[in-house]
Amino acid sequence: MSTPFDALLAYQRQSEALGRIAQLLGWDHETVMPAGSGDDRSEQMAALAGVLHARGSGAELGDLLSVVDPDQLAGTERRIFDLIQTDFMRRQKVPQDLAVALARITSKSHRAWTEAKAADDVSIFLPMLSEVVNLARQKAEVLADENTPLYDALLQDYEPDGRSAEITEIFDNLRPHLVDLRAEVLERNQSVSLSGHFPMEQQRALTDRVARVFGYDMDRGRIDVAVHPFSSGSGNDVRITTRYDETNPLDSLYSTIHEVGHATYEQNVDQIYNFTPLGNGCSMAIHESQSRIYENQLARSRPFTDWLFSQMKDAFGDLGVSDADGFYRAVNSVKNGYIRTEADELQYNLHIMLRYDLERALIAGDLMVNDLEAAWNDRFRADFGYAVPKASLGMLQDIHWSECLIGYFPTYAIGNIYAACLREAMLKDAPNAIDALAEGRTDTARTWLRENVQQHGRRYKAQEVIEKATGQAASSEPFVRYIREKFAEL
């Protein structure tokens, strides 16, 4: 006999399916959509956003929720109800015309960002970015509770229960360690890099193989090329993109491994949660912990780079480094640079802190969009000690603000912190998990991550996931220990 909860879940499954259609349209927009189809796609995305917003905030869902007695639910059913209700209440606060306007402007601003980056001309992007920020602020104003920073209202889209005051405290504690260690390493470190020509087709073959080594199921996913690597989808259709540089094969390899971390998280969520609110990652920081532990703690470890060195020698011949030790140093090289996605583990979080502070100031109204480039350049010089030479290496390098992903950036750094916590716990339970990578065997590490993190989807909150997996609350201390130990020998 059907229950009120069954009816609610059936309705939600349809909404989840429509959401995945939106993801496919977004993937197509980034990969194979014809250049002249942008305006049509904007209308398609806006129409679908309107439908999804109406389904998520309308009277029909409200009626379905009202006849369910949450006190009669337990376990996963109660968690599903709570997630639907929380999202419903949040969506109800956002007028549908605002939701549609955001969908329409982000599609247009994405194209403006792409053009501005290619032309190295901020002025092409600033008018659209101003509209994005204004709409994001409007959204924050209707969502924010009294005495809550506007930024925190946007943060909830990516890190439910996240608070900027707590994040700021974590970053303020972490920053001195990063600044000091960065100076130490750069003073003694001689940068090592690969050299030679690395044909794209051979890179593609190696990248596909490494993706499979890390557990990416190609029967339920695919790898395409895009300007900015990303993963998209959930359940049994999870796609990733990468990019290729014939002078720098490590960019493609490690971008792909990063996205495989995201994608396998989605692929490994328990199938019983598919097309329910539990069928995705529980927060972006937990999601980022999976991509970061794959990319950094596993794939940049000495055992794995020993294995990868032999694979690359077979694929390309001369790499410009003579042995596995040189290759390890090239993979983990610390050097000055401008691009967040190319930054080493030591400096990456400094890039995030810069963006976090600037976007908070934008939403608070303390920084105007027209002053953003100057503020970026001033902060970059203060943090890194040298100037940004052009906009494409500065404020135009990231896609996030064009997509109104304001509140997303801090989850990258929190994800790094979570990843280090998980690494320590994994090595206590499975001491040989990283050593096995020397043979190209990732199964021990992947099994631990699947069982302790990935299979649960959104069954638990982010802090609960970390506490259940590690036995303690998250802390930045494991990350500090990890980078100090690793970079002491580099």
Q: To 10 degrees, what angle do helices 302-316 and 249-268 make?
A: 120
- The DSSP secondary structure of 341-376, one letter per residue, reads GG--HHHHHHHHHHHHHHHHHHHHTSS-GGGHHHHH
Comparing C-alpha atoms, which of 125, 129, 137 is closest to residue 98?
137
Comparing C-alpha atoms, which of 310, 323, 283, 288 is closest to residue 439?
310
Using CA atoms, how far apart are residues 319 and 278, in angstroms rounded to an integer? 44
Told to judge if 288 belongs to the known catalytic residues of this protein, a careful annotator would answer: no
Using CA atoms, how far apart are residues 134 and 9, in angstroms rounded to an integer? 35
Q: Are 197 and 247 in contact (CB under 8 A)?
A: yes
How crowded is residue 347: how many other Cβ atoms within 10 Å of its Cβ? 22
- Catalytic residue, from 30, 77, 159, 259: name it: 259
Tokens of 436: 């096995």
Output the CA torsion sign for 287, 292, 293, 299: positive
| 324: Cβ contacts below 8 Å, ≥ 6 apart | 305, 306, 309, 310
Beta bridge partners of 242: 225
Tokens of 143: 């969502």
Tokens of 267: 């692929």
Using CA atoms, how far apart are residues 316 and 281, in angstroms rounded to an integer? 37
Using CA atoms, how far apart are residues 266 and 284, in angstroms rounded to an integer? 12
Comparing C-alpha atoms, which of 97, 341, 143, 155 is closest to residue 243?
341
∠282-225-192 over CA atoms, to 5°?
A: 90
Residues designated as active site:
259
